[in-house]
């Protein structure tokens, strides 16, 4: 579970969410990559269910869909219907009230705490609370916060397919935004972070901004980038890609269907072939800057 900081508040990624039109096809795609997920059960809303890919660092990747394909979802409905993949992200906190107070002091309105539960397939009940910043979809730009009411190790643990392996956790969240400057200002206000480092990334077709020492990257579509512009038009500002941490790049590059490596803020990343994941953008950080 990555606890990283800039000059201000630190954040720890709890999990990132990939929205799928149907859960089982998404699980099969990951299994074909050697990243088999664990079925997690139905949420307390009675509409959505999930599977997770747990990592050694305590973070996890969540696949979410509706129990009945095509049914309206109370969460990330557009992304689920559109089989959009990256949809949201969450950070862990031990004190939602303190986080709510901190965000209020930064001028960020929040909703919650919102209680949620699900029951694991083995019958173990899980309970947690969520805090949603702003009035948009949860975790679209600023992350939603999650605090467990049952032991966290009941909610998530490393999956058998990743435990002790070459993919160690969630490294970065790449958030698609229409304009870097106001989006960067929002994060600066919410977390007290310094100015991001800005560069061009031809692979994403975007102008990207990274906050040093944090897992947050913002991506504004370049004039020539139809992919990111069309995604923004369809789903609004929200995560466009997730980057995982490769603990053993040599093993990873030999095992996963990766596109050629490309520069990434002084380091190097490689994307899993999007054709193997419905066009979703999931990459591996092979070398940190």
Query: Is 175 a residue whose pLDDT tops 60?
Result: yes
Q: Residue 105 gets which letter from DSSP?
A: H
Distance CA(208)–CA(202), nearest Å, equals 10
Answer whether residue 283 shows pLDDT above 50.
Answer: yes
Q: Are 215 and 13 in contact (CB under 8 A)?
A: yes
- Asked if residue 172 lies in contact with residue 212, where contact means CB atoms within 8 angstroms, the answer is no
146 or 3: whose pLDDT is higher?
146
pLDDT at 224 over 90: no
Architecture of domain 3-155: Roll (3.10)
What superfamily does domain 167-287 belong to in CATH? 2,3-Dihydroxybiphenyl 1,2-Dioxygenase, domain 1 (3.10.180.10)
pLDDT score, position 3? 43
Residue 1 has pLDDT above 70, yes or no: no
How many degrees, rounded to 5, is the angle at CA 18 between CA 91 and CA 225?
A: 105
Quick check: helix, strand or coil at residue 132?
strand
Domains 3-155 and 167-287 share a fold: yes
Q: What is the pLDDT of residues 76-107, one digit of tens each?
A: 999 999 999 999 999 999 999 999 999 999 99
Alpha-carbon distance values, 66 to 45, 63, 231 (Å): 10, 11, 21
Domain boundaries, the chain: 3-155, 167-287
Instruction: Calculate mean pLDDT across residues 133-144.
Output: 92
Find tokens 């862990």 and name the residue: 92
Look up residue 128 and give its two tokens: 């947690």
> In the predicted model, what is the mean pLDDT of residues 179-184?
97
Q: Tokens 């960020």 belong to which residue?
A: 108
Cβ-based neighbours of 86, under 8 Å, separated by 6 or more:
16, 17, 18, 19, 174, 238, 239, 240, 241, 242, 280, 281, 282
């Amino acid at each position: 579970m990555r606890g990283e900081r800039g000059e201000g508040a630190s954040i720890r990624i709890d999990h990132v969410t990939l929205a799928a039109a149907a859960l089982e096809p998404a699980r099969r795609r990951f299994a074909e990559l050697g990243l088999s997920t664990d079925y997690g059960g139905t949420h307390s809303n009675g509409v959505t269910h999930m599977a997770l890919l747990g990592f050694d660092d305590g973070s996890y990747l969540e696949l979410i869909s509706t129990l009945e394909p095509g049914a309206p979802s109370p969460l990330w409905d557009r992304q689920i219907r559109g089989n959009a993949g990256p949809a949201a992200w969450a950070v862990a906190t031990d004190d939602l009230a303190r986080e709510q107070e901190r965000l209020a002091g930064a001028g960020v309105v929040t909703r919650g705490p919102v209680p949620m539960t699900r029951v694991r397939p083995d019958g173990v009940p899980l309970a947690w609370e969520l805090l949603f910043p702003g009035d948009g979809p949860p975790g679209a730009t600023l992350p939603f916060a999650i605090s467990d009411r049952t032991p966290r190790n009941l909610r998530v643990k490393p999956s058998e397919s990743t435990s002790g392996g070459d993919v160690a956790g969630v490294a970065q969240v790449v958030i698609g935004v229409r304009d870097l400057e106001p989006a960067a200002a929002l994060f600066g206000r919410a977390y007290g972070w310094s100015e991001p480092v800005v560069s061009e990334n031809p692979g994403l077709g975007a102008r990207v901004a990274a906050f040093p020492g944090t897992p947050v990257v913002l991506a504004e579509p370049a004039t020539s980038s139809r992919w990111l512009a069309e995604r923004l038009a369809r789903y609004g500002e929200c995560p466009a890609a997730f980057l995982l941490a490769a603990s053993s790049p040599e093993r990873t590059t030999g095992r996963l269907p990766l596109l050629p490596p490309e520069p990434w803020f002084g380091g190097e990343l490689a994307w899993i072939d999007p054709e193997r994941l419905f066009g979703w953008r999931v990459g591996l950080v092979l070398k940190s800057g």
